[in-house]
Structure 1
């Protein structure tokens, strides 16, 4: 306990040189927080702490003894190496935060290093949906205007990019990109039947991708559109004929009958 208070007192009273480092890692991995000090700096004592989201003691070096017995959220997942680097893992989503190591040399000089650890989840395989735009009269024949939408579920800090497969030196940026790259607008012709587009979802530590051939959706949309038109005709024509016949029957029945029970015919008929 006195050694700990001595280290903290050194941090409060002595001049401190501070360097800052950013460390990126992935959920489930093990990360090594490397303690770096200037040449000729002979470490006598050291203390590792978690500064954010809460301040906790993680490990210390005192009189040549390495200790990692402090109770913290990393209990059982922390190891202090002989070179004073701190190993953490397996990492969890909530392990992101700021860490510091305070080192004191044999002459009483102090050196503090702060590290910002950012833990990302592994990017899952993205999902790509194909939407076909409504056909316009000005649109050239045998073409299909589509929108490709890419989404990695339950993830944040994701960036999206697109790659056109099967061609050389095609700049996808020539197409329209929306929603930070998640939506790609493409105009396809008959020569693009076998062209595939790949969505790449990534964060700073992992990535995954999904590939689609959008012309297949254009074909299905066209086929389904024709089928739907026929279905509409098959339904609308019989109903129209029934209403016309019902109107004619009502008009004929209303003539010879004078009772109160009669069939009312809409004005349209």
Structure 2
């Protein structure tokens, strides 16, 4: 314990050369915090600490012994190597923070290195929804205006981009991208029946992709000059209903035993029964 306090006192009183490094990783992975020192620097003692969000002792090298038996949020997930580098993992969401290693050489000269670790969640597979615009007189025949909306459950530090499959590069019009590139507006024609569009969701350490064929949502099956299925339904359904109602009315009105003709029907049937044909 006395030596650790000596190390901290050296850090406070002696001139120290400090280097800083930024590291990126994702949840579930391991990360190696590499201890770097000048050429010829013979490490006699070293101490690793977490500086933020809380200050904690993580590991030490003292009198040739590597120690990691300290209670911290990395308990059971930290290992110090023979080259004084520190391995953390598997990483969790709250492991982002600042770390430092203080090393002292055999001549008593200290050296401090700070590292900033940023841990990201792995990007989940995005979901792409297709919305078709209402047809209007201004829309060209046999075209379909669609909006592709891309979404992921985890929006932290995620960026979106779009690609038209089958091409090396998809240069979209900036006016076609909406809501921080999460929505893409495109116009499709008859030659786009099998064209697929992909949304790529990414953060600094991972990415995932989802692909759709938007023409499948356009319902442009009808050939030019032919009525669409909506037009057919608008005519066929009312006509069918009228025919059914007319048939029911006729059966009720002209049936042999309906309404006022019930008695006559009964008398006729009795007569036929009393006078069978010879």
Residue in structure 2 matched with residue 74 of structure 1 by the alignment: 74
1:174 to partner: Cα distance: 5.8
Moved more, 85-94 or 132-141: 132-141
Distance 2:106 2:179 in 1: 56
Distance 2:177 2:187 in 1: 13
Bigger Cα Rg? 2
Distance 1:57 1:3 in 2: 14
Distance 1:17 1:221 in 2: 72
Distance 2:55 2:221 in 1: 58
* Equivalent runs, 1:30-49 vs 2, <5 Å: 30-49=30-49
Moved more, 165-174 or 44-53: 165-174
Moved more, 146-155 or 210-219: 146-155
Where structure 2 has 5 or more consecutive residues not aligned to the other structure, the ranges are: 243-278
| TM, length-normalised to structure 2 | 0.79
Aligned length: 238
* Equivalent runs, 1:224-263 vs 2, <5 Å: 226=230, 230=234
Residue in structure 1 matched with residue 267 of structure 2 by the alignment: none
Does 2:207 align with 1:213? Answer: no
Distance 1:50 1:169 in 2: 44
SS of the aligned residue for 1:226 comes to: helix
CA contact (8 A) 1:16 1:112 kept: yes
For residues 229 and 212 of structure 1, do their structure 2 counterparts lie closer, same or farther at Cα, with a shift above 3 Å needed?
same
* RMSD, aligned α-carbons: 2.7
For residues 6 and 228 of structure 1, do their structure 2 counterparts lie closer, same or farther at Cα, with a shift above 3 Å needed?
farther
Residue in structure 2 matched with residue 201 of structure 1 by the alignment: 201
The 4+ residue runs of structure 1 with deviation greater than 2 A are: 166-170, 172-175, 220-231
For residues 203 and 170 of structure 1, do their structure 2 counterparts lie closer, same or farther at Cα, with a shift above 3 Å needed?
closer
